[in-house]
């Protein structure tokens, strides 16, 4: 009896304390964010850095409806010190500083990311996820939503790699909103992407069959006999597709021409006899 009472008392006190702290935190965050927004909601607020004009505008509504909208600005911008800011940083330095802030909450992901090719070439969290309007991955307007991924990756990976994907069944299906067809990350992974030359990569010669088999059932070695991300070309790995395409194009043109000529001759005959 005594125990039950004590636990209930403890629980109630704990709950009250938690709620009080949470509301206090929310109020503090709101006040701080309001202070930042007082200047940064000005669409013309900008600075010239490294010869480039950098906008310092933050859309308050977009930020507040983003996944991080309840956090104070300094949760990520921990380098900010006082108003006006005593020691502001911009460009790459800012990206790196903010990426470090991401680690405060997303530790496991940043560990995973640190071994990736993207980390080693200096890609930061914000390059893919955006900054002030980050949304959940399953939100259709998120930069990393499945149907937006090809555009996102194409910011750096242009040319044949993205063209061949858009021409592929996977790409066409995803462009029309498929929830099942493969996007870039289905095969390449997300935070731990490695180059295909790395044996640990999902798309290395050893791992590719297993990666295809995620959806296509069987991890046969034949998955590696032929290249992904090739477009039709008369020479090289695109040649079988190129000649198949050409064969059917000419077969179609030839056949339909003959059939149309035949129809026209019959119609001419009918007209003549009429």
What are the residues binding other proteins (CB under 8 A)?
168-169, 172-173, 175-181, 209, 212-213, 216-218, 220, 222-228, 230, 232, 237, 240-241, 244-245, 248-249, 251-252, 255-256, 259-260, 262-263, 265-270, 272
Are 56 and 91 spatial neighbours (Cβ–Cβ below 8 Å)? no
Least Å distance between CB 185 and other proteins? 18
The pairing of strands 52-55 and 46-49 is antiparallel
Give the nearer residue to other proteins in terms of CB position, either 13 or 260. 260
Are 175 and 166 spatial neighbours (Cβ–Cβ below 8 Å)? yes
Least Å distance between CB 232 and other proteins? 7
Give the nearer residue to other proteins in terms of CB position, either 47 or 215. 215
Give the nearer residue to other proteins in terms of CB position, either 5 or 273. 273
CA distance 188 to 162: 13
Least Å distance between CB 121 and other proteins? 28
Give the nearer residue to other proteins in terms of CB position, either 5 or 225. 225
Least Å distance between CB 208 and other proteins? 9
Least Å distance between CB 150 and other proteins? 12
CA distance 90 to 88: 7
Give the nearer residue to other proteins in terms of CB position, either 12 or 175. 175
Least Å distance between CB 240 and other proteins? 5
Give the nearer residue to other proteins in terms of CB position, either 51 or 217. 217
Least Å distance between CB 51 and other proteins? 39
For residue 145, give both structure tokens.
């939503």
Give the nearer residue to other proteins in terms of CB position, either 66 or 201. 201
Least Å distance between CB 206 and other proteins? 15
Give the nearer residue to other proteins in terms of CB position, either 144 or 212. 212
Three-class secondary structure assignment of the chain: CHHHHHHHHHHHHHHHHHHHHHHHHHHHHHHHHHHHHHHHCCCCCEEEECCEEEECCCCHHHHHCCCCCCCCHHHCCCCCCCCCCCCCCCHHHHHHHHHHHHHHHCHHHHHHHHCCHHHHCCCCHHHHHCCCCCCCCCCCCCCCCCCCHHHHHHCCCCCHHHHHHHHCHHHHHHHCCCCCCCCHHHHHCCCCCCCCCCCCCCCCCCCHHHHHHHHHCCCCHHHHCCCCCCCCCCCHHHHHHHHHHHHHHHHHHHHHHHHHHHHHHHHHHHHHHC
């Amino acid at each position: 009896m005594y125990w039950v009472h004590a636990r209930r008392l403890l629980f109630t006190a704990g709950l009250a304390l938690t709620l009080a702290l949470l509301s206090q935190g929310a109020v503090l965050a709101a006040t701080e964010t309001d202070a930042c927004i007082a200047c940064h909601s000005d669409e013309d607020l900008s600075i010239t850095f490294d010869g480039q004009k950098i906008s310092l505008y933050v859309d308050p509504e977009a930020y507040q409806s983003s996944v991080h909208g309840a956090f104070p600005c300094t949760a990520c911008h921990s380098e900010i010190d006082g108003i006006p800011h005593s020691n502001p940083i911009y460009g790459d330095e800012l990206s790196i500083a903010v990426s470090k802030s991401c680690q405060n909450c997303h530790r496991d992901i940043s560990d995973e990311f640190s071994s990736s090719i993207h980390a080693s070439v200096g890609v930061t969290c914000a390059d893919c996820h955006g900054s002030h309007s980050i949304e959940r991955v399953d939100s259709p307007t998120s930069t990393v939503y499945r149907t937006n991924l090809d555009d996102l990756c194409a910011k750096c990976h242009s040319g044949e790699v993205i063209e061949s994907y858009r021409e592929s069944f996977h790409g066409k299906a995803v462009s029309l909103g498929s929830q099942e067809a493969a996007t870039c990350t289905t095969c390449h992974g997300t935070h731990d992407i490695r180059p295909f030359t790395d044996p640990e990569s999902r798309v290395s010669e050893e791992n590719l069959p297993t990666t295809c088999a995620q959806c296509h059932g069987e991890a046969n070695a034949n998955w590696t006999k032929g290249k992904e991300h090739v477009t039709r070309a008369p020479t090289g790995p695109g040649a079988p597709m190129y000649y198949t395409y050409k064969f059917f194009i000419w077969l179609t043109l030839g056949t339909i021409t003959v059939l149309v000529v035949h129809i026209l001759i019959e119609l001419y005959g009918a007209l003549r006899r009429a």
